Amino acid sequence: MASALHNLSSYDATSVPSAKGMSFAIVVADWNDQYTYAMAEAAIETLKKHGADENDIIVKHVPGSFELIYGAAWMVENEQVDAVIAIGCVIRGDTPHFDYICQGTTQGLAELNLKADVPVIYGLLTCNNAEQAAERCGGRLGNKGTECAVTAIKMVAYGED
């Protein structure tokens, strides 16, 4: 569903399992940090709202969205976590760089999600302009970080069923 038709922060809280006892890694791209940091903050707050202990949330930073692949893979291999959330934001510019970064990051995270023993949650915003990014990081369309945290909790619980 297009996010223009759905608020990213709206969800039925009663449908989210307890995150108590679950552990999470959040890998955050520093590029476009005004957006990625807002998403990371929303993800952390949502995880805690649903019972995750602050000590069970590891946050690491990578330079840009393409590096989310390595950062998430490193977390899967080296940290004892139940899920990894990859958060980044790419904004279209004047060159095809946007297409390469979005496609490569998407493919890399998808492959990692298939191979990893824990879910890897896709939190990459791919926006045409800064206004679209702002709308999805706490603006009128909610916050993608909230959606990613809810997804992570549900996927960890899915694996426990």
Would you please indicate which residues are annotated as catalytic (active-site) residues? 97
Q: Closest by alpha carbon to 145, among 31, 4, 41, 62? A: 41
Q: Are 109 and 67 in contact (CB under 8 A)?
A: no
Number of CB atoms found within 10 A of residue 33's CB: 13
Q: Phi and psi of 94, rounded to 5°?
A: -90, -5
Q: Are 50 and 16 in contact (CB under 8 A)?
A: yes
The span from the CA of 76 to the CA of 118, in Å, is: 7
- Give SS3 for 109: helix
The span from the CA of 92 to the CA of 50, in Å, is: 34
Q: Are 80 and 45 in contact (CB under 8 A)?
A: no
Q: Are 99 and 49 in contact (CB under 8 A)?
A: no
